[in-house]
A and B are shown apart, each in its own frame.
Chain A
Amino acid sequence: SQKIEQNSEALNIQEGKTATLTCNYTNYSPAYLQWYRQDPGRGPVFLLLIRENEKEKRKERLKVTFDTTLKQSLFHITASQPADSATYLCALGEGKLSFGAGTTVTVRA
């Protein structure tokens, strides 16, 4: 069956450090992979999309990698700030988007 798995543990990091989140998938052959941010009581907000032929994509302090051989995407938040505290979801699909359960990041001041 198809699965999307993200770090099951919440991530607590010190301000200024880099947070690295993992998204692994099985039984998908996605051409695209997306990352969303979700704050409590709100719907997810789109952050980044990466294509299968792109190894890496950056947006401000965010960096995403996509390894179709390992079936894995890594999401990095560099120079983290308390405002980065949220749950981060990866999403992919062939047609409708399916989402992972998310990883909750808390950045301590």
Chain B
Amino acid sequence: GAGVSQSPSNKVTEKGKDVELRCDPISGHTALYWYRQSLGQGLEFLIYFQGNSAPDKSGLPSDRFSAERTGGSVSTLTIQRTQQEDSAVYLCASSLAEGLANEKLFFGSGTQLSVL
């Protein structure tokens, strides 16, 4: 596609429910990243993929968080048993190469998650 696409753009859920957030990266981009941004805060790194594998999962806050990527393209971030502190904007980004600090990232508009 023309840009990074994320869905849904907004998600309201009840505490304890599971949610799935989807990211469709730019075609041909091999690297895909998930970040979380809480209100007024910077971007918190969660996980990155090179192809379908995740060399760096160091940012996942707990075992309630998981992510997968299939076909080297679409990625899904799953949060199980959501808690109120999970409320944030979840941003996905893609780049041409993996984990290189000279690669610029292309971001989607994010999914605003609200846990009631």
A residues lining the B interface (CB < 8 Å): 4, 30-32, 34, 36, 41-46, 49, 51, 89, 92-102
Chain B residue total in the interface (Cβ 8 A): 23
Q: Which residues of A contact B79 (CB under 8 A)?
A: none
From residue 9 to 51 of chain B, which have CB atoms closer than 8 A to chain A? 33, 35, 40-43, 45, 48
Contact of B48 among A4, A36, A45, A96 (CB under 8 A): A96
The answer to the question of B4 belonging to the interface, with a C-beta cut-off of 8 Å to chain A, is yes
Chain B residues in the interface with A (C-beta under 8 A): 4, 33, 35, 40-43, 45, 48, 56, 91, 93, 99-102, 104-110
- Known contacts A43-B93, A94-B101, A95-B101: A89-B110 contact under CB 8 Å: no
- Establish whether residues A34 and B42, one from each chain, have CB atoms under 8 Å apart when the complex forms: no
B35 surroundings in chain A (CB, below 8 A): 99
Check B45–A98 contact: CB distance below 8 A: yes
Contact in complex: A96, B43 (CB < 8 Å): no
Bound CA span A96–B95, Å:
11
Q: How far apart are the CA atoms of A41 and B107 in the complex, in Å?
A: 12
Judging by beta carbons under 8 Å apart, are A43 and B110 in contact?
A: yes
The one of B42, B45, B102 in contact with A102, judged by C-beta atoms closer than 8 angstroms, is B42
**Interface contact B101-A45, CB-CB below 8 Å:** no
CB distance from B58 to the nearest CB of A (A): 9
